[in-house]
Amino acid sequence: MSSLNILKNDIGTAQAQALIKIKQEKKMTTLCGLNGDETELNLSGKMNGAEDALMLVEDIKDNWALSSLNVLGNSIGQEQMLSLIKSSEQQGLITQFCLIPIKELKENTITELDMSGKNLGVDGAVVLATYLKDNGTLSKFTFSGELVDSKPVTVEVGMTELDCSGALLRAAGATILAAWIQHK
């Protein structure tokens, strides 16, 4: 067997790690049902947490065509999101990650960004926080929490006050807000 798609099976991280080892030993091509030459990969809502993220990190590390990756809505968690970010950085070609224009953020070519209504969740917030910290040009940023009723919040460089009360930001919005405050 060279190809397998075992995503969304709640196999647990120990079994995912065992399958990754088998994939490497048997020179399998995928555990996530990928071809290996995808340019865009939308796995939003198609994965189950950390174990699927572990397998995805393994599957995308040799995909040199991938430019867009979306894994929103999968409850991956911070540690595995950071692993996915690291893997995408090593690959170096991803320009959009979880709907976020990371190429523009990394290259400091964007001054305004509106991510409101994108339902980034905590996973997307981790990606955004990672790329906000080194961006020196973003001066206006609009975002919202992960709920449909979340109210958009706009922050700008030089603001001294912000009232987000009742915006329903939840953990994702708070993570994004903290990243902005640290960034600016």
Average pLDDT over residues 120-145: 92
Q: Is 155 helix (H, G, I), strand (E, B) or coil?
A: strand
Tell me which DSSP letter residue 158 carries.
Answer: T
What's the domain range around 159?
105-183
What pLDDT score does 44 carry?
A: 95
Q: Is 67 helix (H, G, I), strand (E, B) or coil?
A: coil
Residues 44 and 63 in one domain: yes
Helical residues (DSSP H) of 27-145, grouped into ranges: 49-60, 78-91, 102-107, 121-132
Residues 53 and 89 in one domain: yes
Looking at the structure of the chain, the number of domains it has is 2
What pLDDT score does 38 carry?
A: 94
Residues 17 and 68 in one domain: yes
Q: Is 157 helix (H, G, I), strand (E, B) or coil?
A: coil
Domain end position, chosen among 97, 115, 147: 97
Does some domain include residue 89? yes
Write the DSSP string, 162-177. Answer: ---TTS--HHHHHHHH
Asked if pLDDT for residue 91 goes beyond 90, the answer is no
Asked if pLDDT for residue 184 goes beyond 80, the answer is no
Residues 80 and 109 in one domain: no
Does some domain include residue 2? no
Q: Is 23 helix (H, G, I), strand (E, B) or coil?
A: helix
Residues 20 and 92 in one domain: yes
Instruction: Rounding to the nearest 10 degrees, give the CA dihedral for residues 42, 50, 74, 182.
Output: -90
Domain end position, chosen among 97, 113, 134: 97
Mean pLDDT estimate for the chain? 93
Burial of 1 (0-12, 13-18, 19+ CB in 10 A): exposed
| Distance separating alpha carbons of residues 66 and 41, to the nearest angstrom | 7
What pLDDT score does 63 carry?
A: 86
Residues 56 and 34 in one domain: yes
At 15, the pLDDT band (50, 70, 90 cuts) reads very high
Residues 149 and 87 in one domain: no
Does some domain include residue 4? no
Q: Which pLDDT tens digit goes with each residue over 28-85?
A: 999 999 999 999 999 999 999 999 999 999 999 888 899 999 999 999 989 999 999 9
| Distance separating alpha carbons of residues 181 and 61, to the nearest angstrom | 32
At 111, the pLDDT band (50, 70, 90 cuts) reads very high
